[in-house]
Structure 1
Amino acid sequence: MADQAAVTLLCLFLPFLAAVLAPAVIRAFGHAGSWLLALAPLLSFLHFLTFLPEVADGGVVTGGFAWVPSLNLSFSWFLDGLSLTFALLITGIGTLIVLYSGGYMKGHPQLGRFLCFILLFMGAMLGLVVSDSFLMLFVYWELTSITSFLLIGFDHEREAARRSALQALVVTGLGGLSLLAGLIFLWNMTGVTQLSLLVHVGDGLRESPFYLAALILLLGGAFTKSAQFPFHFWLPNAMEAPTPVSAYLHSATMVKAGVYLLMRLNPVMGATPAWEILLPLFGGVTLIAGAFLAIRQTDLKLMLAYTTMASLGLLVMLTGFGTPHAIEAAVLYLVAHSLFKGALFMVAGLVDHEAGTREVTKLGGLRSVMPITFVAALLAALSMGGLPLFLGFLAKEEIYYALAHGDLRAMLFTLVAIVGNGLMLVVGFTVALKPFLGPHVETPKHAHEGPLLMWLGPAVLAGLGLLGGIFSGIAHRFVSTPMASAVAGELRPVDITTIPHLGMPLLLSVVTVAFGVAVYLQIDRARAMMVRLLAAIGNGPDRGFDHVISGLVRLSVAVTRMVQPGRLEIYVTATFIFLALTLLVPPFVYGELPELPAWPTDVLFHEWAIILLAVIGLFAVLRASDRLTAIVSLGIQGFAVAVIFLLFGAADLSFTQFMVETLSVVILALVMTRLRLSPRDHRPLGQMLFDATIAISCGLGFTLMLMKSTQGPFNAHLTEFFNAYSKVIAHGANVVNVIIVDFRGTDTLGEIGVVMITGLAVLALIRVRPRNPLPQTRVEAPADGDRP
């Protein structure tokens, strides 16, 4: 078991290792180096493949190690039917994507950097789906956002790519913060920090008064990551990334992270009214919006992007629907979608790479020159359309079996599924047929079949969609049933086959296909209708994002100008205002004011004299005619306090106070004599009263705090510790010196550093010379003694 855990840990980090080596490998071997780099995800895929029999028999694979035991934080993984299926999709499709990238970007000077980014993302996504601990899940979740930002903005010289990358990072980054808050809620509500342990606290979690708050926060993370309405706009814009990114991140992996999270939480947070209302509602709206927006597009990648959005909505709707077979339908559709959508995105990239355009209206007749690509596209489209013998057919049948019931809610969502699936069939066949059938159309490049590196991926994925449907028993045994059982939290066998069974699901499938074919035959008219509809609606969330960011920037500028105007006076004033509030508000609000001390009756004459001297010094500061006199007078209070320390037996503290006051007065006086400052304080009376109020408030606050502190019971633990161990440990008889030099040595070193930096700053300040110094003139002192 220890060896297995070590190999699993190595496989989790293999993509990161390959990412580090990618630039060097590409420099050494060119685009052929993609074959070497593809070994990393391939080896991980083969390792995870060995877990299939154990997981299919109901087992789980766990491992990891304690990270921060005191906080119950660990680096741990948990492989059941759900996480293992995702791990196989990520590493398996990732292997094909690395190869595809080598062909698609052959000759690109930054191929090494690109493969580094995509392998980093692969490692992040793999870590996300196998994570058991909350902390590990969140770290990898955010890492997928960062790496996707790098990939979307790969072509950073284009403004559209930079905008799309920033948009994706902002939206998914905010969702990540929402997820973090939700995980903290779960931690505090349940006391556990591992997803696998949540299964045992499901009822308590659902009955908690904080359930709804935790659910909304977690949905914020899931909905932004999986592009649910109204956070969907970043996904189509992410198509600015190179096609391998679109095929991998935005169809098969990253955008399904939110769906994965919802499926993982379904056993403990599902089966509640909030769950079964919010998920189907947002999922259904996303499905319809994505399907209608897809048929409006003419760019192959954008058409597929919006159908990805629609498919994610369908998965969310099924996950939250609440019927026994809805989870099975979601599981089947998730796997089928990863296969056919990854294949179709690669086909779109192939067409663009070989023909020079992705505009479907400018393509046609490519079947004869790109036969392998055409076959792969057709197989993937047949699965996407849900036709027999394909895994997509099984998914669609199970969807209708799960949704089709007699109540109004079921009929409404069944209608949503029919419309969404029908329109996705239209897009699938538009991508698979329009560029290849019909008369040949002249394209910007002389089209021909792509290289092996490019057509291998779509051919394999499309073929797996067919094999998964034909050999459905094997697929259910090792994939569908373990995955559905993990999502449901109980054994949930999947046994649907490709043999059509008469009944309502088959009838609804026929209706869906008929609807899709009808729209496909009128695709130009449907596209024109959507253009007019969107024009009537006006700006959508994408434009709203720009307005929000623009408003945020203007607000930031205004706030910055207000709180950081560049005037030291304002900074100092604000600092002391907040200091006064911090000192005065809590005692008054919480009733922690100190008791007024009794008037002292045993104060000696010389002690009164020192106090009187301090008061005289205070008035001397206030009445000083210039700043230099005020600074010198300010030292009177410090020396008076030092004498009081001396009178009460604190000789070392008194000596420190004398030194500090002497140095402060000398340094400040030196600075004041070298700077050109106004000799008098020209503040208006109102400003002086305002500043005086702040100063008195700060002084009063410190006075109250010190009085409250001294009135509390004295805790002698530290005193006893220092008395007992100063000589034993530090070999010093002077306890105060030992505390400063040994027990608080680092603190003392910091204070010395502060004094040194202050001295250097003062030295630099007094050596400043104006660039155009004014001529020095002798000014005779006026008769009244005032200095000029």
Structure 2
Amino acid sequence: MIGNVTLLTFIVLFLPFVAALCAPLAVGRLGHNAAWLLALAPALAFVHFLGFIPEIAAGEIVTGGYAWVPSFNLSFSWFIDGLSLTFALLITGIGTLIVLYAGGYMKGHPQQGRFLAFLLLFMGAMLGVVVSDSLMMLFVYWELTSITSFLLIGFDHRKEAARRAALQALVVTGGGGLALLAGIIFIWNISGTTQLSMLVHGDDVLRQSPFYFATLLLVLGAAFTKSAQFPFHFWLPNAMEAPTPVSAYLHSATMVKAGVYLLMRLNPVMGDTAAWEILLPFFGGLTMLTGAFLAIRQTDLKLMLAYTTVSSLGLLVMLTGFGTEHAIEAAVLYLVAHSLFKGALFMVAGIIDHEAGTRDVTKLGGLRKAMPVTFAVAMAAALSMAGLPPFLGFLAKEEIYYALAHANPRAILFTGIAITGNALMLAIAFAVALKPFIGKQVKTPKHAHEGPVLLWLGPAVLAFGGLLAALFSDAFHARISTPMATAIAGEGRLVDMSLVPHIGMPLVLSLFTVALGVLVYTNLCKARQFMTRMLDAAGPGPDRAFDGIISTLVKLSFHITRMIQPGRLEFYVTVTFAIIALVLLVPLFAYGELPALPLWPADMQLHELTFIIIAIIGLVAVLTAASRLTAIVALGIQGFAVAMLFLLFGAPDLSFTQFMVETLSVVILTLVMTRLRLSPSDHRKRGQKLLDGTIALSCGTGFALMLLKSTEQSFDTNLTQFFSAYSKLIAHGNNVVNVIIVDFRGTDTLGEIAVVMITGLAILALIRVRSGSKPKDEGRA
């Protein structure tokens, strides 16, 4: 392992955030052409990460970073191996094309600057997720992706559907984020490390821990919600309410793969167990079938692609946890292929919608002549999605069957799932790439024509990138596939799949998949009607269940709030002090920690006894006061008596502070009370007085017993010695108390001063209220 702590990498990680800050101003000055300028940020990051390829391909690992909170072993650090480098290249490379595409797609939109800012913020967050070495840094960026995706999905906030989809995505992925935080705490406590680079190359402590299964469930909760695994799959198709650049970037190539990334990253230390190899293939296979079947039902191009994305994510999770030789290699190839062809197809769907005015596949046809470039791009991406040569999708599909096809019931089951899912995805690929372009030209809401270069440049690069990766597979595997597979497996892996297929069962299964997919495509209308009937018969799904759960939570929270927050200050004060009394007294009695009763000091001086008697007289005066004003003044007597005791026992600074606080409190309360009716002194009923008195005595007794118990312990002089040694040396002050307040606790003191200032301003505003604006109920105060 080599250390490569460079300022350049640090700058690159923040480039998207800087570009996001500049986006509104750039769009305001340059219009849609600002996309060319803003795309430089991800492009420079892409070039920077390209520079790591030789090191990573040679088997090296690049780490670096800066101390964040050294006392807690937290750092802002990065960890770049084959897995994180591939994701970083996808995020920055596709991100560059998406920014350009968004410049053309959102041309003329009044909020284009805000949109590009949100998009770049998300890009920076996702980049942080995949290169983070620190577990806490990973969590921070993970949550930032949820927040920024919420902003992007709900970009058109005037639409109720967009607001609902954004809230749904935030709730589901945010809940997964909480699971991830708990999982990180488990990992931290079990392994004793906060660095992923040390964790994945360390001892096998996670699998051997008795808390392994609990940790696994928490990690799966985070990964499954982020990567839309069943039963959390419903949020991703609903997120298609976002503008198409968001769909092409967040929900096909980047964000939804964050969960897959997490599983791949932790595979070396959490994989290869029975729980891992049961749960991941089961939920992944179920998700693959669910997404594929639901895609057949759709007529909206984006929804068709969204549900096949769900299906593809299920396939990736299934392969990651399958546990056989070549399954990891198949997952690697399919992940890269999917990012390329699905990003391209989403952008194609956006071009069709932008230039023809509709995404409904039943209302489209004959666009090939009007949009020849878009048609060529769509066909190239669809061929890769269908798993046909000579595209990267073909290599991925062949490797999938080579990894799954074994002569045991488990392998046969999941091979059947893969065949079914891949066949249905082939049908959808051709439905998206062929149906809108072939046949008789249909009249569309807008006069269809080829889009500008900003629209078709991105999908063209991605679609034909899949072609180049397959044609030059040896170079692609040596630099991308093999290092990535090695990082996921935690041991050396060699990816050598080429356009020459595996002769035997994998090729037979591949041909059968193509035949089945073509059959479904030629009968797509019948298949769509059949799925509609089946799903209608099945009843409401998880999407409707989510609405029911949220509605129930809102009603429950309303009733709980009404119960514990009735709007009466008297209730809040009573509950607060009752809880304080319980916290103080219950542990003392429950655990037998009552202090010994103090003896009356034999050497008590007369002046000391005098101030104690004064305090008692003040207490009696408060209880017997005929008006509130008298009670306030009498209350100050105790404060002054306590201040004198501080002075007598060698704490003049504290005594002076107490004098000031008591004086200010009495003056302020008196000024406030002059605005109210000062009699009668107490309007409470006898039962209320008894309850309040009991709580007050309990609190006082609890504090007294706690103080007595504390003084029974031996005095710890560590802080005394520290402040005595360093007050003069560090703070250059002789008065230790002043040094503590001003220097060692300077921020705390500043906060206290701010509170006092705000309180004083609020009181001043109350005093200056004219008599004519008095509240109607002031007489009852």
Q: 1:512 to 1:677 in 2, by over 3 A?
A: farther
Q: 1:329 to 1:696 in 2, by over 3 A?
A: same
The CA distance in 2 between the partners of 1:722 and 1:481, in whole Å, is 58
The CA distance in 2 between the partners of 1:765 and 1:627, in whole Å, is 18
Q: Is the 8 A contact 2:56 2:483 kept in 1?
A: yes
Aligned-residue offset at 1:284: 1.1
User: What are the Cα deviations for residues 123-170 of structure 1, in whole angstroms up to 9, with x where unaligned?
Assistant: 222222122222322222222222222222222222222222222222
The letter of the residue matching 1:503 is: G
Hey, what does 1:520 align to over in structure 2? Answer: 521
Hey, what does 2:303 align to over in structure 1? Answer: 302
Q: Is the 8 A contact 2:5 2:65 kept in 1?
A: no
Q: 1:612 to 1:369 in 2, by over 3 A?
A: closer
The CA distance in 2 between the partners of 1:36 and 1:678, in whole Å, is 72
Structure 1, unpaired ranges of 5+: 776-788
Q: State the percentage of identical aligned residues.
A: 74
The letter of the residue matching 1:120 is: L
Aligned-residue offset at 1:7: 3.5
Q: 1:702 to 1:472 in 2, by over 3 A?
A: same
Hey, what does 2:353 align to over in structure 1? Answer: 352
The letter of the residue matching 1:449 is: E
Hey, what does 1:565 align to over in structure 2? Answer: 566
Hey, what does 1:783 align to over in structure 2? Answer: none
TM-score (norm 1): 0.90
Aligned-residue offset at 1:615: 5.0
The CA distance in 2 between the partners of 1:464 and 1:284, in whole Å, is 28
Q: 1:159 to 1:746 in 2, by over 3 A?
A: closer
The CA distance in 2 between the partners of 1:601 and 1:477, in whole Å, is 89
In the alignment, structure 1 residue 445 sits paired with structure 2 residue 446? yes
CA RMSD of aligned residues (A): 3.3
Hey, what does 1:154 align to over in structure 2? Answer: 155
Hey, what does 1:693 align to over in structure 2? Answer: 694
The CA distance in 2 between the partners of 1:141 and 1:321, in whole Å, is 26
**261-270 vs 758-767, which moves further:** 758-767
**636-645 vs 68-77, which moves further:** 636-645
Q: Is the 8 A contact 2:248 2:343 kept in 1?
A: yes
User: What are the Cα deviations for residues 305-333 of structure 1, in whole angstroms up to 9, with x where unaligned?
Assistant: 00001000100011011112110111111
In the alignment, structure 1 residue 193 sits paired with structure 2 residue 194? yes
Query: Superposition pairs for residues 633-782 of structure 1, below 5 Å?
Result: 633-634=634-635, 637=638, 668=669, 671-716=672-717, 764-765=765-766, 768-771=769-772
**717-726 vs 244-253, which moves further:** 717-726
The CA distance in 1 between the partners of 2:332 and 2:287, in whole Å, is 19
Q: In structure 2, the residue corresponding to 1:176 is in which secondary structure?
A: helix
Aligned-residue offset at 1:179: 1.5
Hey, what does 1:69 align to over in structure 2? Answer: 70
The CA distance in 2 between the partners of 1:636 and 1:544, in whole Å, is 62
Aligned-residue offset at 1:43: 2.9
Q: In structure 2, the residue corresponding to 1:77 is in which secondary structure?
A: strand
The CA distance in 1 between the partners of 2:415 and 2:527, in whole Å, is 22
Q: Is the 8 A contact 1:205 1:269 kept in 2?
A: yes
Q: In structure 1, the residue corresponding to 2:65 is in which secondary structure?
A: strand
Q: 1:763 to 1:281 in 2, by over 3 A?
A: same
The CA distance in 2 between the partners of 1:14 and 1:743, in whole Å, is 37
Hey, what does 2:539 align to over in structure 1? Answer: 538
In the alignment, structure 1 residue 385 sits paired with structure 2 residue 386? yes
The CA distance in 1 between the partners of 2:502 and 2:728, in whole Å, is 91
Query: Superposition pairs for residues 277-426 of structure 1, below 5 Å?
Result: 277-426=278-427
Q: Is the 8 A contact 1:93 1:248 kept in 2?
A: yes
The letter of the residue matching 2:39 is: A
**232-241 vs 460-469, which moves further:** 460-469
The CA distance in 1 between the partners of 2:51 and 2:654, in whole Å, is 72
In the alignment, structure 1 residue 184 sits paired with structure 2 residue 185? yes
**704-713 vs 591-600, which moves further:** 591-600
The letter of the residue matching 1:11 is: V
The letter of the residue matching 1:323 is: T
The letter of the residue matching 1:431 is: V
**95-104 vs 332-341, which moves further:** 95-104
Hey, what does 1:29 align to over in structure 2? Answer: 30
Aligned-residue offset at 1:54: 2.7
The letter of the residue matching 1:374 is: F
Structure 2, unpaired ranges of 5+: 777-781
**102-111 vs 325-334, which moves further:** 102-111
The CA distance in 2 between the partners of 1:20 and 1:708, in whole Å, is 56
Q: 1:639 to 1:27 in 2, by over 3 A?
A: closer
The letter of the residue matching 1:271 is: D
The CA distance in 1 between the partners of 2:731 and 2:241, in whole Å, is 66
**558-567 vs 577-586, which moves further:** 558-567
Hey, what does 1:593 align to over in structure 2? Answer: 594
The CA distance in 1 between the partners of 2:729 and 2:585, in whole Å, is 43
Hey, what does 1:91 align to over in structure 2? Answer: 92
User: What are the Cα deviations for residues 243-291 of structure 1, in whole angstroms up to 9, with x where unaligned?
Assistant: 1111111111111111111111111110011111111111111111101
Q: Is the 8 A contact 2:5 2:63 kept in 1?
A: no
Aligned-residue offset at 1:735: 7.5
Hey, what does 1:16 align to over in structure 2? Answer: 17
Q: In structure 1, the residue corresponding to 2:389 is in which secondary structure?
A: coil
Aligned-residue offset at 1:703: 0.9
Q: Is the 8 A contact 1:202 1:269 kept in 2?
A: no
Aligned-residue offset at 1:730: 9.2
Aligned-residue offset at 1:121: 2.0
The CA distance in 2 between the partners of 1:741 and 1:479, in whole Å, is 57
Hey, what does 1:172 align to over in structure 2? Answer: 173
Query: Superposition pairs for residues 406-485 of structure 1, below 5 Å?
Result: 406-485=407-486
The CA distance in 2 between the partners of 1:39 and 1:738, in whole Å, is 51
The CA distance in 2 between the partners of 1:4 and 1:761, in whole Å, is 51
Q: In structure 2, the residue corresponding to 1:274 is in which secondary structure?
A: helix
Hey, what does 1:259 align to over in structure 2? Answer: 260
Aligned-residue offset at 1:550: 2.7
The CA distance in 1 between the partners of 2:655 and 2:15, in whole Å, is 64
The CA distance in 2 between the partners of 1:28 and 1:658, in whole Å, is 61
TM-score (norm 2): 0.91
Q: Is the 8 A contact 2:4 2:64 kept in 1?
A: no
Hey, what does 2:248 align to over in structure 1? Answer: 247
Q: In structure 1, the residue corresponding to 2:772 is in which secondary structure?
A: coil
**301-310 vs 31-40, which moves further:** 31-40
The CA distance in 2 between the partners of 1:3 and 1:615, in whole Å, is 70
User: What are the Cα deviations for residues 601-635 of structure 1, in whole angstroms up to 9, with x where unaligned?
Assistant: 67688877876665565455444444444445545
The CA distance in 1 between the partners of 2:140 and 2:7, in whole Å, is 21
Length, aligned pairs only? 775
The letter of the residue matching 1:194 is: Q
Aligned-residue offset at 1:495: 1.6
Hey, what does 1:779 align to over in structure 2? Answer: none
User: What are the Cα deviations for residues 10-29 of structure 1, in whole angstroms up to 9, with x where unaligned?
Assistant: 43333333333333333343
The letter of the residue matching 2:170 is: L
Q: In structure 2, the residue corresponding to 1:78 is in which secondary structure?
A: strand
Aligned-residue offset at 1:57: 2.3
Aligned-residue offset at 1:492: 0.9
The letter of the residue matching 2:53 is: L
User: What are the Cα deviations for residues 670-702 of structure 1, in whole angstroms up to 9, with x where unaligned?
Assistant: 654541244153322222221111111101101
Hey, what does 1:141 align to over in structure 2? Answer: 142
Q: Is the 8 A contact 2:61 2:80 kept in 1?
A: yes
The CA distance in 1 between the partners of 2:743 and 2:94, in whole Å, is 60
In the alignment, structure 1 residue 48 sits paired with structure 2 residue 49? yes
The CA distance in 2 between the partners of 1:35 and 1:606, in whole Å, is 83
In the alignment, structure 1 residue 498 sits paired with structure 2 residue 505? no
Q: 1:687 to 1:82 in 2, by over 3 A?
A: same
The CA distance in 2 between the partners of 1:373 and 1:652, in whole Å, is 79
Q: 1:365 to 1:551 in 2, by over 3 A?
A: same
Q: In structure 2, the residue corresponding to 1:62 is in which secondary structure?
A: strand
Q: 1:448 to 1:563 in 2, by over 3 A?
A: same
Q: Looking at CA atoms only, which structure, 1 or 2, has the larger radius of gyration?
A: 1
Q: Is the 8 A contact 1:202 1:267 kept in 2?
A: no
Q: In structure 2, the residue corresponding to 1:219 is in which secondary structure?
A: helix
Aligned-residue offset at 1:361: 0.4
Q: Is the 8 A contact 1:379 1:462 kept in 2?
A: yes
Aligned-residue offset at 1:471: 2.7
Aligned-residue offset at 1:98: 2.1
Q: Is the 8 A contact 1:675 1:766 kept in 2?
A: no
**494-503 vs 639-648, which moves further:** 639-648
The CA distance in 2 between the partners of 1:743 and 1:342, in whole Å, is 55
User: What are the Cα deviations for residues 630-685 of structure 1, in whole angstroms up to 9, with x where unaligned?
Assistant: 44554565566567678878788778767766665565456545412441533222
